[in-house]
């Protein structure tokens, strides 16, 4: 791999790799020749005697695809001037089983390093994310660098030779990138698990599986796992990538089915997606106990990998047609993931060169995919919130309809009963509750003369005038039906205060009403009772207020009377 921003010395194929101070980094593939080793038995001394048999590789992009044989690579090097610093040969891909590096001069071995996750590190190897070795070179001499590579996975071999300071700078840059992307994945994982624990919403658990699998694959692919998480653990190096892939695959099946099922939890689509998740988990377990080898598991994963997206496309398209942003977000996510997967497949098969963009394409695509899935979670939460608000609005509307008078919008008898019962629970002689029952004087002639529409308009106007005449924080106006209204007043300190409030209601109806260019005059007859002095329950208070109002009607109307129990109750 030729690192981004590094200076490269372009070589003529077959010519030695010229190492000069200040060049910083040289793409070793410009000078590489190759010798296959199908027997896996060739030793370095034998290979040194067969240097003329090395041939130019079929491609020089840094990826040789998937091969069963071991491969010997030869890099002839020449040092023109005294090196100002050490030169580092680096193989920028860490997931390799066996990597042996040998530096030879005139057929004599000068240095060697055993690398790869099946080999314990040698004293001459550098501790790092990828296989590398510091070269001890002298000016004016030519060397042969031999590298033997054997692995079950793809032979991705981005070989470069760099001056030590520049190699360190590039290594730190890559570590910074991996640290950022790994930290982002950890934050997404922690967030999803915390939301799942607090809300018990399975969608967050499925998202956590997707994040865990994607992050686990990248940790293995870029050597971060072997460097920090499971150093020297051969089993993890041989199984981590496939296990992570199956975890992400199972999470994708479950996540997408939960998002797109739209409540149809027993639909055929959901059953197929759940079956895909089960198959992924079974294959993962089979690989963990070595019933399925890496090649077989990879083949299964390649076959199953596209299925979650392919099976979900029709449902996502329907969402797009319904103007649901979830559908469009998923289509964008799948497009990004498909492009990243194609780049990864091209790199693994050797069709694409190994450079920064092809090596990181899948990781960057998977990261963007996770962020788009996070947006899906946000859209789902937004839709759930909107649905909850609509449910509450409908509930409040039904409650309002059940407790409100449809003509005036005031509380009806049921609303009054609820409010009165609540007020009486807090009622004391120092905080009394008054119930004013009133009937309109002169309403029937107006209703008969001008019609019911005018009568209804007058009732609405009466309700509004009553509301403007009471205390908004403590009092309630209700309509019982016809031309009967009730005012419930709370937190009254004295009987005089209660009487004053009643008289202010009478006074409020001294001005006439003007409706549709007609001047209409109605008055009030009010009967009221005080709790707890005149009664302690709603039924008693209402009956005594009614008796007081009836007595007022009999004695001349447009009056206010309190029933302290001395007036007869109507049956």
pLDDT at 9 over 50: no
CATH topology agreement for domains 17-169 and 413-562: no
Does 363 score more than 90 pLDDT? yes
Q: Measuring CA to CA, which residue among 535, 334, 295, 525 is closest to residue 427? A: 535
CATH number of 413-562: 3.30.70.270
Looking at residue 122, its pLDDT comes to 60
What are the structural domain ranges in the chain?
17-169, 201-391, 413-562
Q: Is the pLDDT of residue 233 over 60?
A: yes
- pLDDT of amino acid 202: 92
pLDDT average, residue stretch 169-198:
95
Determine the average pLDDT of the residues in 12-22: 78
Q: Strands across the sheet with 132-135, in order?
A: 25-27, 159-163, 87-91, 132-135
Tell me whether strands 98-105 and 141-150 are parallel, antiparallel or unpaired.
Answer: antiparallel
Distance of alpha carbon 521 from alpha carbon 508, whole angstroms: 12
What residue spans of 404-533 are helical by DSSP H? 413-425, 443-450, 452-469, 495-508
DSSP string, 200-254: --HHHHHHHHHHHHHHHHHHHHTTHIIIIISTT-HHHHHHHHHHHHHHHHHHHHH
> 501: which residues sit within 8 A by CB, 6+ positions away?
434, 436, 470, 489, 492
For residue 481, the model assigns a pLDDT of 87
The CB density around residue 182, as the number of other CB atoms within 10 Å, is 18
Residue 385 has a pLDDT of: 84
Output the pLDDT for position 11.
47
Residues 6+ apart with CB under 8 A from 45: none
pLDDT digits (tens, 9 = 90+) for 390-404: 878 878 777 777 788
Q: At what angle do helices 234-260 and 268-288 cross, to 10 degrees?
A: 170
- In whole angstroms, how far apart are CA 150 and each of 40, 62, 98, 197, 241? 8, 15, 5, 44, 18
Report residue 437 as tokens.
């029952």
Question: What pLDDT, in 10s, does the model give residues 348-361?
Answer: 989 999 999 999 99
The model's confidence at residue 532, banded by pLDDT at 50, 70 and 90, is: very high
Q: Which of 124-138, 275-289, 480-494 has the lowest mean pLDDT?
A: 124-138
Closest CA to 143 of 46, 24, 18, 14: 18
Q: State pTM to two decimals.
A: 0.73
Task: Residue count of the chain, please give it.
Answer: 571
**What CATH number should be reported for the domain whose range is 17-169?**
2.60.40.2380
Nearest to 370 by CA among 161, 192, 563: 192
**pLDDT, tens only, 63-104:** 998 888 999 999 999 998 888 889 999 999 988 999 999 999
Q: What is the pLDDT of residue 1?
A: 43
For residue 7, pLDDT over 70 is answered with no
- In 342-468 the beta strands, taken as DSSP E runs, fall at 432-441
Q: What is the pLDDT of residues 460-517, one digit of tens each?
A: 999 999 999 998 888 999 998 889 999 999 999 999 999 999 999 999 999 999 998 8
User: 534, exposed or middle or buried, with CB in 10 Å at 0-12, 13-18, 19+?
Assistant: buried
Indicate the pLDDT class of residue 263, thresholds 50, 70 and 90: low
Angle between the N-to-C axes of helices 164-199 and 356-403, in degrees from 0 to 180, rounded to the nearest 10: 20
Confidence of residue 124 (pLDDT cuts 50, 70, 90): low
Instruction: Please report the pLDDT score of residue 571 as a whole number.
Output: 40
pLDDT tier, 126 (very low <50, low <70, confident <90, very high otherwise): low
């Amino acid at each position: 791999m030729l690192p981004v921003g590094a200076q490269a010395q372009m070589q003529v194929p077959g010519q030695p790799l010229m190492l000069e101070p200040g060049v910083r980094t040289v793409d070793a593939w410009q000078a590489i020749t190759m010798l296959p080793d199908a027997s896996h038995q060739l030793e370095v001394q034998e290979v040194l005697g067969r240097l003329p048999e090395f041939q130019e590789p079929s491609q020089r992009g840094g990826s040789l695809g998937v091969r069963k044989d071991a491969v010997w690579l030869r890099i002839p090097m020449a040092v023109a001037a005294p090196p100002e610093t050490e030169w580092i040969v680096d193989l920028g891909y860490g997931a390799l089983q066996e990597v042996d590096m040998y530096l030879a001069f005139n057929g004599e071995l000068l240095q060697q390093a055993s690398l790869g996750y099946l080999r314990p590190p040698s004293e001459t190897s550098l501790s790092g994310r990828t296989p590398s070795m510091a070269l001890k070179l002298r000016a004016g001499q030519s060397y042969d660098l031999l590298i033997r590579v054997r692995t079950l996975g793809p032979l991705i071999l981005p070989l470069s030779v760099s001056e030590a300071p520049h190699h360190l700078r590039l290594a730190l840059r890559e570590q910074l990138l991996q640290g950022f992307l790994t930290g982002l994945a950890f934050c997404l994982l922690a967030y999803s698990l915390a939301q799942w624990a607090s809300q018990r919403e399975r969608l967050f658990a499925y998202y956590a599986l997707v994040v865990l699998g994607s992050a686990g694959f990248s940790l293995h692919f870029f050597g971060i796992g072997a460097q920090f998480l499971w150093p020297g653990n051969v089993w993890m190096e041989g199984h981590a990538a496939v296990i992570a892939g199956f975890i992400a695959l199972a999470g994708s099946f479950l996540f997408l089915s939960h998002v797109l099922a739209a409540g149809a939890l027993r639909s055929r689509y959901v059953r197929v997606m759940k079956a895909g998740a089960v198959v992924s988990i079974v294959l993962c377990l089979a690989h963990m106990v070595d019933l399925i080898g890496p090649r077989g598991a990879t083949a299964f994963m390649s076959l199953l990998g596209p299925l979650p997206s392919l099976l979900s496309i029709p449902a996502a398209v329907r969402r797009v047609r319904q103007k649901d942003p979830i559908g469009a977000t998923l289509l964008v996510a799948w497009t990004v993931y498909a492009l990243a997967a194609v780049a990864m497949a091209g790199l693994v098969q050797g069709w694409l060169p190994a450079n920064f963009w092809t090596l990181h394409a899948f990781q960057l695509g998977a990261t963007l995919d996770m962020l788009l899935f996070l947006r899906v979670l946000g859209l789902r939460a937004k839709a759930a919130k909107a649905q909850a608000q609509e449910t509450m609005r409908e509930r409040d509307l039904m409650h309002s309809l059940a407790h409100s008078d449809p003509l005036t919008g005031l509380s009806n008898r049921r609303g009054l009963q609820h409010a009165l019962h609540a007020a009486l629970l807090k009622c004391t002689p120092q905080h009394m509750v008054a119930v004013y029952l009133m009937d309109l004087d002169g309403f029937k002639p107006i209703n008969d003369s001008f019609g019911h529409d005018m009568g209804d308009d007058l009732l609405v106007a009466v309700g509004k005038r009553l509301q403007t005449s009471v205390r908004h924080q403590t009092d309630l106006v209700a309509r019982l039906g016809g031309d009967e209204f009730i005012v419930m007043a709370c937190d009254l300190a004295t009987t005089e205060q209660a009487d004053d409030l009643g008289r202010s209601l009478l006074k409020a109806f001294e001005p006439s009403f003007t409706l549709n260019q007609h001047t209409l005059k109605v008055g009030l007859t009010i009967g009221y009772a005080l709790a707890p002095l005149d009664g302690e329950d709603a039924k008693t208070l209402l009956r005594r207020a009614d008796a007081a109002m009836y007595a007022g009607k009999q004695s001349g109307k447009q009056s206010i009377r309190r029933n302290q129990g001395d007036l007869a109750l109507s049956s």
